Amino acid sequence: MVKNVVRGPLLALLIFVLFLAAASPLGAQQKRKVIIDQDCAGPGGTDMQALLTLINSPQTDVLGITVVTGDAWRDEEVQHTLRLLEIIGRTDIPVLPGAVFPIVNSKEAVAEWEKKYGKVTYQGAWNFGNPVHGPWEIPPMPEGTPAIKASKEDAAHFLMRMVHQYPHEVTIYEGGPLTNLALAQTIDSHFASLAKELILMGGSIHPVTTDPEFIKTPHREFNLWMDPEARAAFCARRGRESSSRRSTSR
């Protein structure tokens, strides 16, 4: 999400970049196949910086960018992503629209929760933006409107198709709510087991910050908060599959 705390996509990407650097000697490694699943608020900000870091790395082959509502609404994020790809000359990378809404959670449900427990400072697309708007509106884009279009394939089916096409080769970088991953896993129970690995930007443990989002709720992290059902569904199934594979290997 777009914040001034060193705990967002750049932190996860730093870990990812260090992992890539240690994976094998320079020049001797094969490019790592990566799908970026993220809420791509723009223009600028940490979401766009995350895309640029992975796309520009000589060690990655970005298969596609799957977009989910999070910091902003999906349709607006898709447009910012397409325009970014135009600007950097990487229109070969497909952009796949994903989930517009969380599986269960909603702005209305959060409003009811706030009546009982207090204000939720940052709610992404639901209360952040200039201006705050609905899911189908796209405000004027400072960087210009893209000429290219998003893929007609949806994010969940693209994710499934790629892990079947490249079994145990695809790294999924998850920089947003896990809705797209949960949908893919619900449709195809083999999805998670066919991916090589998941790198997740999520969680918050004792952040040192003056950010009002974390002063009262230091352990509440946006990506895991916005769609808790997706987080629970995907991680539970992934855990069961991992346990099953360990039992089988014994």
Tens of pLDDT, residue by residue over 170-193, are 999 999 999 999 999 999 999 999
- Residues 178 and 228 sit within 8 Å (Cβ to Cβ): no
pTM for this prediction: 0.85
Distance (Å, whole) CA 10 – CA 1: 10
pLDDT tens sequence across 37-61: 999 999 988 999 999 999 999 999 9
Q: Tell me the two tokens of residue 142.
A: 């400072």
Say which residue the tokens 């000429």 belong to. 147
Q: Where are the domains of the chain?
A: 32-41+53-169+184-223
Residue 168, token pair as written in the block: 């145990």
State which amino acid sits at residue 46.
T
Express as a percent the part of the chain with pLDDT over 70: 83
* β-bridge mates for residue 61, sequence order: 33
Close Cβ partners of 213 (under 8 Å, ≥ 6 residues apart): 3, 121, 122, 220, 222
32-41+53-169+184-223 classified as CATH 3.40.50.300? no
Which of 52-56, 83-87, 183-187, 230-234 bottoms out in mean pLDDT, i.e. has the lowest?
Answer: 230-234
Average model confidence (pLDDT) for the chain?
Answer: 86
Percentages helix, strand, coil for the chain (3-state, rounded to 5) are 45, 10, 45
Give me the residue label for tokens 């207090």. Answer: 118
Q: What is the per-residue pLDDT for 197?
A: 94
Rounded Cα–Cα distance for residues 8 and 27 (Å):
30
Phi-psi region for residue 44, left (φ > 0), alpha (ψ -120 to 50) or beta?
Answer: left
| Residue at 226: amino acid letter | M
Q: What is the DSSP letter of 126?
A: G
The gap from C-alpha 247 to its chain's centroid, in whole angstroms, comes to 31
Cis? peptide before 228, omega within 30° of 0: no
Phi, psi of 80 (to 5 degrees): -65, -40
pLDDT of the residue at 238: 56
- Cβ neighbours of 231 (radius 10 Å): 22
* CB-neighbour burial class of residue 145 (10 A; exposed 0-12, middle 13-18, buried 19+): exposed
